[in-house]
Amino acid sequence: MVYVKNESKFKLLKTMMITRNKEVAYFIRGKLITDHHLDLKFNNLEELNNILIDFDNLLICQGVTNPKFLEIPSHRNGLKKENIWRSKTCSLYGQRKNMFGDVICACCTKLKRSLQTGLTMVQRQVQRKYKLTASRKKLQNCRDIVARKMAQVEVCFNRLVVWTSELVSVQTSSVIKYLFQNQKLKIEALRTSVLDAAKNALEHRISKLTPKVQY
């Protein structure tokens, strides 16, 4: 049996069951593994000792441990547990360490590639959401500016209406005043002309009524 200490707790990683028929079954994390290169039978203690050594040297799949993939909520081919992603078909052991020093099985390696693709999509969605939020904020600012400008235009338009009304009133008053003065001048001229004509006619009549003196 092989134990590992994790957060002050010991967890069982490897177990091996030996039957009376000298057959061996291997378990990793409590699950039976079958797709492996280990011997399933032994005939003597030396072979059993070699089996124990081979099983002890068997590398355990660590799963996908990169914390950046924790942003992904779920995946159809994987399970996330204790901040570690594992393929649903994880073989539980690895053949060798990768270039980063991690032990990961072929199924979890495929899952890691898929998670990377999913993470890229999630990051793009976040970026699009951020850009959309920024665009909406900018659009709202433009709307606010337009609303303020429209309010200013409305104020100016109301002032223009008042000024136009006042101007029309002034012009109307001036026209009426001009017409009245012009008509007054015409009436005065007509009155003078009538008075002059009446005076001339009266003088003419008087001249006819006056007796002539003969010497």
- Per-residue model confidence as pLDDT tens for the chain (215 residues): 444 444 445 667 888 888 888 899 988 888 888 777 888 889 998 998 998 888 888 888 888 888 888 888 888 888 888 888 888 888 887 766 665 667 888 888 899 888 888 888 877 887 888 888 888 888 888 888 888 888 888 888 787 777 877 777 766 766 666 666 766 676 777 777 777 777 777 777 676 665 544 44
Amino acid identity of 61? Answer: C
The answer to whether residues 52 and 24 touch, using CB atoms and an 8 Å cutoff, is: no
Least Cα distance to 9 among 106, 66, 82 occurs for 82
**Length of the chain, in residues:** 215
With a CB cutoff of 8 Å and minimum separation 6, the contacts of 79 are 85, 86, 88
Q: How far apart are the first and last CA of the chain?
A: 182
Q: Cα separations (Å) of 45 from 56, 62, 191?
A: 16, 31, 156
Sheet holding 9-18, edge to edge: 2-6, 9-18, 24-28, 31-33
With a CB cutoff of 8 Å and minimum separation 6, the contacts of 5 are 11
Tokens for 134, please give them: 């920024």
Query: CA 109, CA 64: separation in Å to the nearest integer?
Result: 8
Q: What is the pLDDT of residue 137?
A: 87
DSSP assignment, residue 15? E
The answer to whether residues 53 and 38 touch, using CB atoms and an 8 Å cutoff, is: no
DSSP assignment, residue 211? P
Dihedral of alpha carbons 38, 27, 78, 6, sign? negative
With a CB cutoff of 8 Å and minimum separation 6, the contacts of 16 are 1, 24, 25, 26, 27, 51, 52, 55
